[in-house]
A and B are shown apart, each in its own frame.
Chain A
Amino acid sequence: RKEVEQDPGPFNVPEGATVAFNCTYSNSASQSFFWYRQDCRKEPKLLMSVYSSGNEDGRFTAQLNRASQYISLLIRDSKLSDSATYLCVVNGGVGNFNKFYFGSGTKLNVKP
């Protein structure tokens, strides 16, 4: 079983739409969670960390559900510039807190 699983998409949405991605992780001992954004043929860049209480950054909201072991990302009022692949990242459990596992990414296409 993969450590982190994501729906690869693509999600094709019009500008202004709200879109949500989920990600599930297998290790219940994982402690830190992130969403990274990756543009085509570029390096990943941090979008936001995901805290237990959930967190919001402008149009982006991240939630963590430890009981069900999933992480979500909500994007409101989608912009053309949001088109990218979104990577879910989770750290390892006890003894592996400095190791990170990436999902295969969810591709988002925002259309005019």
Chain B
Amino acid sequence: NAGVTQTPKFRVLKTGQSMTLLCAQDMNHEYMYWYRQDPGMGLRLIHYSVGEGTTAKGEVPDGYNVSRLKKQNFLLGLESAAPSQTSVYFCASRERLAGAFNEQFFGPGTRLTVL
């Protein structure tokens, strides 16, 4: 099993350009998450999904959109990239189990630079 994969691994954009980050998981997990990590700030939740066809906002959703058309994929879109969106983006997935102690599995990250 590949676990959680992210595409691309690196990307450089110019201000105003758009792009889509793809997250895929092969563990049949219900929940999926997009985070961004900036130096000294830890991971912050952008959007998340509790199942196919559903999405919800996290802490820092502005400037991003998401879609979960298939259970195994969670897409993060930047419609008009800004330098403030320069960050490392992590996707995670998690199984639906009773309680909330089950682990999040993370992808390797996408390093995005917006010039």
What residues of chain A have their CB less than 8 Å away from a CB belonging to chain B? 4, 8, 31-32, 34, 41-46, 49, 51, 87, 91, 97-105
Contact = CB atoms under 8 A, between A and B. Distances in A.
B96 to A, nearest CB: 9
A98 B31 contact: yes
28 contacts: A4-B42, A8-B40, A31-B99, A31-B100, A32-B101, A42-B108, A43-B106, A43-B108, A44-B104, A44-B106, A45-B106, A49-B101, A49-B103, A51-B101, A87-B43, A97-B100, A98-B31, A98-B50, A98-B100, A99-B58, A100-B45, A101-B45, A101-B59, A102-B35, A102-B44, A103-B42, A104-B40, A105-B42
A87 B35 CA distance: 14
Interface in B73-95: 90, 94
B27 to A, nearest CB: 14
Contacts of A99: 45, 48, 58
Interface of B: 31, 33, 35, 40-45, 48, 50, 58-59, 90, 94, 99-101, 103-104, 106-109
A44 B31 contact: no
Secondary structure call for the A interface: loop
Contact of B104 (A8, A46, A103): A46
Nearest to A2: B42
Contacts of B101: 32, 34, 49, 51
Contacts of B94: 98
B107 A98 contact: no
B100 A32 contact: yes
Given A41-B109, A44-B90, 16 more contacts: A8-B40, A31-B99, A32-B99, A32-B100, A46-B103, A87-B42, A87-B43, A97-B100, A98-B50, A98-B94, A102-B35, A102-B43, A103-B42, A104-B40, A104-B41, A104-B42
Contacts of A91: 100
